[in-house]
Structure formats: C-alpha cells, structure tokens
Amino acid sequence: MLATLTEERFSREGWVFEPKWDGERCLVFRHGGELRLYSRHRKLLNERYPELVAAFRRQENDSFIADGEIVTFQDGVTSFAKLQQRMQLERPPPELVRKVPVWFYLFDLLYLDRYDIRKVPLKYRKELLRKTLEFKDRLQFTEHRETEGEAYYRQACRRHWEGCHRQE
C-alpha cells in the first residue's frame, strides 16, 4: 500500500500515471449493512470520518472493497498538515468536521460482489470502479493517464503536488 520513491521519470506502455495524494491511505470494506474504513495500519477510521461513512452508505452497490486516500485541501493542494487535525481525534466535533472537510479519492477496486479482481489489470479495475460507485460530494474518482508520464510529472511539480521533490 505504499508508493515507491524513484528518481526515474518515464512514459511506458502499460503503465498508469495518477496523482500521489498527500493524505491518509484507506481501504473501504462494504458488505451489506457492514461498512468499515481502515487505515494502512489497520486502524478503524469510521468514527474519525463520519461524513465519508455516510457517503459510502449512500452507494447503491453494497459489496466491494476499494482503495483510496482521505484528503483535505489548503490553497488547492492536498495538505497532510491540515488533515492531521482530523487524524488525531477519534470523534471530531461537528465544528472541526466543518472546518477541515475531507474527501475520499478512490483509485482502485479490489473486490466486487463476491469476486476477487486483484489479478485483473489496474486499468480495467479502474473502469469497474468508475462504473460501480457514484462519485459525488465527498467521494471522488482519481483520474489517471496511460501515456506521457514525464509530462504528467512536470505538470504535477508545477502544481506543487505531493511526490515532487524538485521543480522541472
């Protein structure tokens, strides 16, 4: 569940290029009425992000496991520092939920209904993800590219996205 830092920038057929969000990685498990959000350290996050739990409960499909990142923004860029205000509290008060709004950017679908789809190529899992969930309000689809990785990296650096360690 962790990104790998590399100095190599490339465009290569068969690769998917997407933003690296600066937030809290999260897996969503939904099966019928049961819904659980887990951090990469296997901490249950439901109480910390009630608005995300509500957004996932509104989904029509009730059997999936999805992967994504919980983020908040500061001046149009994801801000881990701002998100920490929410991450530190088990049950944030309503005024903090309003002050530090969060979004869930989904980028992968691992299970759908009773099927493990982890061996399906990522670009097809992303297509299934887009068709399976309704993306609005607090739930967002992570857009991606399949070409021009170097150009996408330069664009990310100009926008001050996470993962850029030097300006190009």
Which active-site residues does the annotation give?
20
* DSSP letters for the chain: ------S-----TT--B----SSEEEEEEEETTEEEEEETT--B-TTT-HHHHHHHHT-S--EEEEEEEEE-EETTEE-HHHHHHHHT-SS--HHHHHHS--EEEEEEEEEETTEE-TTS-HHHHHHHHHHHS---TTEEE---BSS-HHHHHHHHHHTT-TT--S--
Length, in residues, of the chain = 168
DSSP bridge pairs for 115:
112
Interatomic CA distance for residues 72 and 18, integer angstroms:
18
